[in-house]
Amino acid sequence: MDNAAIVTTDRLGRDQIARRRTFAIVSHPDAGKTTLTEKFLLYGGALQLAGSVTARKNLRATTSDWMELEKQRGISISSTVLQFDYRGYRINLLDTPGHKDFSEDTYRVLTAVDAAVMVIDAGKGIESQTRKLFEVCRRRGVPIFTFMNKLDRPTLDPLTLLDELESVLGIAAYPMNWPLGTGFGFKGVWDRRTRMAHLYERTERGAYRAPVLTTGLSDPVVRDRLNDDDVYRTTCEEIEMLEGAGAAFDPAAVLAGRTTPVYFGSAINNFGVQLLLDGFLEHSAAPGPRMTQTGLIAPTHRPFSAFVFKIQANMDPRHRDRIAFVRVVSGKFERDMTVTHVRTGKAVRLSNAAKLFGREREIIEEAWPGDVVGIVGNAHFAIGDTLTEDPAIVYDEIPRFAPECFAYLENPVASDFKRFAKGLAQLLQEGVIQSFELAEAGRRAPLLGAVGPLQFEIVKYRLESEYGVASEVRGAPWTVTRWLDPAASRENLLVPTGACLASDAQGNPVLLCVDDWQLRYFQDRNHHVQVSDQPFTP
């Protein structure tokens, strides 16, 4: 396939690609992801008043019974895709559920983005989920922009926060701006690029763009606002040191995921949010090429191609159906177009394609690389599938994530077994959870693996509400999963007591351990077997 030969030559296509940015905001729960999303939407004019995302959250909870679980637990489970325009850019913001339990859904959304904004609560520094999400982004080489949030409250020292990025996450940190004051005395930021102080005024919960005064650091108004000569002096010294310390900003290192640009601010007060958004748009890249089994496909490749990264059934009882979320990689999507569903080789007409803003749906007429389209109602699509006008394109599989918790799912009412099996098969196809089979026979209840225990509850809840069958979740002890090289001999393996061998749904051999100690024991005694936290590709 000569990919280079078939490029979109029309200007329109190239302009559409160049103006797109597709990213996710990642954070530990409560760091301020929802608040920052609201403010971004405010700049995009997609919301009149910031705060409406939260309002939508509440509205959703009352209009949807599938969201009952969200309501009961006070959490957000389903990811949404938000699209808005700002300064000529078309922005696709993929929301990742932020709960203390991870789900694979969150991870998979990150396979469909070109960049991530990582929100850190500056009072707490890097938290456990920040680390996990960061690791997923890093593995994919996704550029990461950092927003140090809640500067209006007591925070860790800014230099300590930067050090932590380097020492804990192992990424070079480049401060793009610097806080002017902290806690209640936080008045704004010093923008290093323009060498200007941005002094903000508070509005009620930052509902509007904060009025901002931009001026030089030596302007007496800066000292006045900081209202403390010591703070002013220290800030000036810090800035001087920063400028003197000297490494120049390297945009290429950002795009390569080696450096994270760091912005300080307060999402709730709308301080520093526009600088973050503008900086992000300037330094992030338009949709890039994606790997197929035969090489890279550029977004300018003329035939349409896309991959399914998320499937969600029964999102809303008003539309009891199944939506496959598809990320466009190349070419132009047009409503009613016919494409090949590569896994089955079948031609499918994409007639029912929707854009989703939160829970609202709008029919999509066209979409370009970087956009996400929700295809409604096709029962055959599965995670990782390729849809394309050029059947030679087959996108690489979406990585699976090593489960960190396991449970048996029992069906307590034998007469419901058929429905139970059908429902579970559907949820497995959606990728809600992974299934495993123990090597030793005898156990009949399916063994399920998840990256967070919340996934079990979702399975149980959905089996009941969508398939009308009860189920019982019985915990299993394993917390560490490693795939074994299928080529290695499994004769005479020394498996520590408590650990066990199993296979995943594709029949790949897997080792399940209760803890890391068991894994080390296994590795020490079975040197000939390579292990991985991902299935080995054939």
Nearer to ligand G4P by Cβ, of 127 and 485: the residue is 127
Q: What is the DSSP letter of 184?
A: G
CB 448 within 8 A of CB 457: no
Residue 431 beta carbon to ligand G4P: minimum distance, rounded to whole angstroms? 24
Residue closer to ligand G4P by CB (options 37, 314) is 37
Q: Binding to ligand G4P by residue 185, rule CB under 6 A?
A: no
Q: Is 35 in the site for ligand G4P (CB under 6 A)?
A: yes
Token duo for residue 446: 């399916």
- How many helices (H) and strands (E) the chain has is answered by 14, 31
Residue type, 183: G
**32 forms part of the interface with ligand G4P (CB under 6 A):** yes
DSSP 202-260: --GGG-SPPPEEEE-TTSHHHHHHHT-HHHHHHHHHHHHHHHHH-PPP-HHHHHTTSEE
CA nearest neighbour of 148 among 261, 14, 29: 261
Nearer to ligand G4P, 269 or 292 (CB): 269
286 among the known binding-site residues?
no
- Contact status, residue 312 vs residue 378, Cβ threshold 8 Å: no
460 annotated to bind ligand: no
The least distance separating ligand G4P from the CB of residue 178, rounded to whole angstroms, comes to 17
Count of other CB atoms within 10 angstroms of residue 133: 24
Specify the DSSP element, H or E, that contains 438.
strand 434-438
Among 29, 251, 289, 498, binds ligand G4P (CB under 6 A): 29
CA 476, chain centre distance (Å): 28
Binding piece for ligand G4P, criterion CB under 6 A, among 24-32, 275-283, 402-410, 433-441: 24-32
Q: Which of residues 56-75 bind ligand G4P (CB under 6 A)?
A: none
Instruction: CB nearer to ligand G4P: give 32 or 431.
Output: 32
412 among annotated binding-site residues: no
98 is in an annotated binding site: yes
CB 167 → ligand G4P: shortest distance, Å? 23
How far lies 264's CA from each of 177, 178, 217, 407, in Å? 6, 6, 17, 42
> Minimum CB separation from ligand G4P for residue 100, in Å?
10
**295: CB partners within 8 A, 6+ apart:** 1, 3
Q: Which of 34, 78, 79, 330 binds ligand G4P (CB under 6 A)?
A: 34
Considering only residues 114 through 173, tell me which ones interact with ligand G4P, judged by CB under 6 A. Answer: 149-150, 152-153
Is residue 267 involved in binding ligand G4P (CB under 6 A)?
yes
Helix (H) or strand (E) holding 106: helix 104-109
Look at residue 446 and give its three-state secondary structure: coil
3-class SS letters over 119-166 = EEECCCCCCHHHHHHHHHHHHCCCCEEEEEECCCCCCCCHHHHHHHHH
262 binds ligand G4P (CB under 6 A): no
Number of residues that bind ligand G4P (CB under 6 A): 17
Q: Tell me if 78 contacts ligand G4P by CB under 6 A.
A: no
Binds ligand G4P (CB under 6 A): choice among 44, 98, 181, 496? 98
Least separation in angstroms between CB 152 and ligand G4P: 5
For the chain, the straight-line distance linking the first and the last C-alpha, in angstroms and rounded, comes to 22
Integer Cα distance of 230 and 77 in angstroms? 46
Would you say 352 is a known binding-site residue?
no
Instruction: Give the residue with the Cβ less far from ligand G4P, 118 or 372.
Output: 118
The answer to the question of residue 266 lying near ligand G4P (CB under 6 A) is: yes
Q: Does 28 carry a binding-site annotation? A: yes
Among 268, 315, 342, 447, the residue binding ligand G4P under the rule CB under 6 A is 268
Question: Helices in 310-413 by DSSP H: which ranges?
Answer: none
C-beta closer to ligand G4P: residue 273 or 376 = 273
481 belongs to an annotated ligand binding site: no
**CB of 112 vs ligand G4P, minimal distance in Å:** 20
Point out the annotated binding site.
27-34, 95-99, 149-152
Point out the annotated binding site for GTP.
27-34, 95-99, 149-152
Residues lying near ligand G4P in the complex (CB under 6 A) are found at 27, 29-35, 98, 149-150, 152-153, 266-269
